Amino acid sequence: MTQPIKFYQTGTFTVGNRLLPEGQRSVQSSEARDNSLNSGHRACQGCGEALGARYVVDAAMRATDGQLIAANATGCLEVFSTPYPETSWQLPWLHSLFGNAAAVGSGIAAALKVKALKAGQGQATTRVIAQGGDGGTTDIGFGCLSGMFERNDDVLYICYDNEGYMNTGVQRSSATPPAARTATTQPLGPEPGAEFGKGKNVPLIAVAHEIPYVATATVADLHDLEAKVEKAMRLHGARYLHVFVPCPLGWGAASCDTIRLARLARETGLFPVFEAENGEITSVTKIRRPVPVDEYLRLQKRFAHLFGAGGHPETIARIQAMADKNIKRFGLLAEESAA
């Protein structure tokens, strides 16, 4: 095969594994996949987090030849995967608390380092991931996350960002976007939904720690997600992967729109997909077909108050301005579509 495959050549944005050489196929297309997060768990239909975690952990398992331990924060991922006495996890897995997954990961990594030295190995062959939702990462677990980063502990931390506290009933987190309705940012008053000018960009904060690797990804591009996990696992030290995972329940979106919403978040510029190494941004995923933000917002009931009679077109314009700012800041426009 001499011609590079473009995944969108079918025009459907679907990932055509059958078109790819063996080595480039998704881990999930392999019969030998680990199924680290096994079927039978209790995630909602169309759950972006379950999809993201399945790809991330399997890719990490493949990258480490199955020598992997996971620490997990409290949240949807932990709850839907382990109601006693069942567990979906096919790898050693530890859930401690909501806000400490990064520190627990640090502890596991420290123990593995000592065990490796005692066994006469220079470096631990068993690797560590820690994972949580946006609440467990950008809010309550933020201190432990920053500590793990600054110590450069050998942990890949994965944040599955669905922009709110979905497990507790859809409350606002510091990852909730402006104008979004949550149970604690109701669509009431002159500025309905979550307020503008609040929230934080944890991927960029991670970059500011100058750790070996930071990347963002979405469940719309699973090959990219897997490639970033594999790249992260080739590196040592603190690494951070922030995965955009739509939540049908919390966003009021159709279960069948999870991938579509993730793709629109990227294509509007609202969720920039990039990589950074040692504090420098090294790559961005260009937008192929720029779309206005209202295409993305309209699919979600959490933004329904912005549309129709009594809607808030000025608010949509502010959200568009945020997307435009991202596009400019990260240089997201592909040259072929810039015209």
Partner 1 sequence: MIKQTEGSQAVAEAVALCRPEVICAYPISPQTHIVEGLGALVKAGDLAPCEFLNVESEFAAMSVAIGSSAAGARTYTATASQGLLFMVEAVYNASGLGLPIVMTVANRAIGAPINIWNDHSDSMSQRDCGWIQLFAESNQEALDLHIQAFKLAEEMSMPVMVCMDGFILTHAYEQVDMPDQAQVDAFLPPYEPRQVLDPAEPVSIGAMVGPEAFMEVRYLAHAKQTMALDRIPEIAAEFKEAFGRDAGGLVRGYRIEDAETIVVALGSVVGTLEETIDTMRAEGVKIGVLSIRCFRPFPMAAVRAALARTARVVVLEKSFAVGLGGIVSTDVRLAMVRIHVRGYTVVAGLGGRPITQDSLLRVLRLAVADELKNLTFLDLDWDIVNRHLAREAATRRSGPIAENLLRDIGSGARPTTAGKAQP
SS3 287: strand
Report the Cα 80 to chain-centroid distance in Å: 17
Smallest gap, in angstroms, from Cβ of residue 77 to partner 1? 11
Applying CB under 8 A, which part among 102-110, 198-206, 212-220, 331-339 lies near partner 1?
A: 102-110
Residues 6+ apart with CB under 8 A from 36: 54, 57, 58, 61, 68, 89, 90, 91
CB contact at 8 A, 148 and 158: no
Q: DSSP secondary-structure letter at 136?
A: I
Smallest gap, in angstroms, from Cβ of residue 134 to partner 1? 19
Applying CB under 8 A, which part among 47-55, 114-122, 197-205, 288-296 lies near partner 1?
A: 114-122
Q: Is 217 in the site for partner 1 (CB under 8 A)?
A: no
Residue by residue, DSSP assigns 27-68 as GGG-TT---SB-TT--PPTT-HHHHHHHHHHHHHHHHTTT-E
Smallest gap, in angstroms, from Cβ of residue 209 to partner 1? 12
Residue from 68, 287, 306, 323 in contact with partner 1 (CB under 8 A)? 68
Element (H or E) spanning 213, and its range?
strand 213-218
Q: Is 152 in the site for partner 1 (CB under 8 A)?
A: no
Q: Is 67 in the site for partner 1 (CB under 8 A)?
A: yes
How many Cα neighbours within 13 Å face the side chain of 312?
A: 20
Residues 6+ apart with CB under 8 A from 107: none
Q: Are strands 280-284 and 274-277 parallel, antiparallel or unpaired?
A: antiparallel
Q: Is 107 in the site for partner 1 (CB under 8 A)?
A: yes
Q: Is 35 in the site for partner 1 (CB under 8 A)?
A: no
Q: Is 111 in the site for partner 1 (CB under 8 A)?
A: yes
Q: Is 157 in the site for partner 1 (CB under 8 A)?
A: no
Q: Is 117 in the site for partner 1 (CB under 8 A)?
A: yes
How far apart are alpha carbons 146 and 213 in whole angstroms? 14
Q: Is 72 in the site for partner 1 (CB under 8 A)?
A: yes
Q: Is 53 in the site for partner 1 (CB under 8 A)?
A: no
Q: Is 108 in the site for partner 1 (CB under 8 A)?
A: yes
Neighbours of 265 (CB within 10 A): 23
Residue from 18, 118, 314, 335 in contact with partner 1 (CB under 8 A)? 118
How far apart are alpha carbons 227 and 282 in whole angstroms? 15
Residue from 95, 172, 242, 286 in contact with partner 1 (CB under 8 A)? 95
Cβ-based nearer residue to partner 1, 149 or 303 = 149
Q: Is 57 in the site for partner 1 (CB under 8 A)?
A: no
How far apart are alpha carbons 2 and 207 in whole angstroms? 36
How big is the site for partner 1, counted in residues (CB under 8 A)? Answer: 47
Q: Is 93 in the site for partner 1 (CB under 8 A)?
A: yes
Residues that bind partner 1 (CB under 8 A): 66-69, 71-72, 78-79, 82-85, 87, 89-97, 99-100, 103-115, 117-118, 126, 143-144, 146-147, 150-151, 153
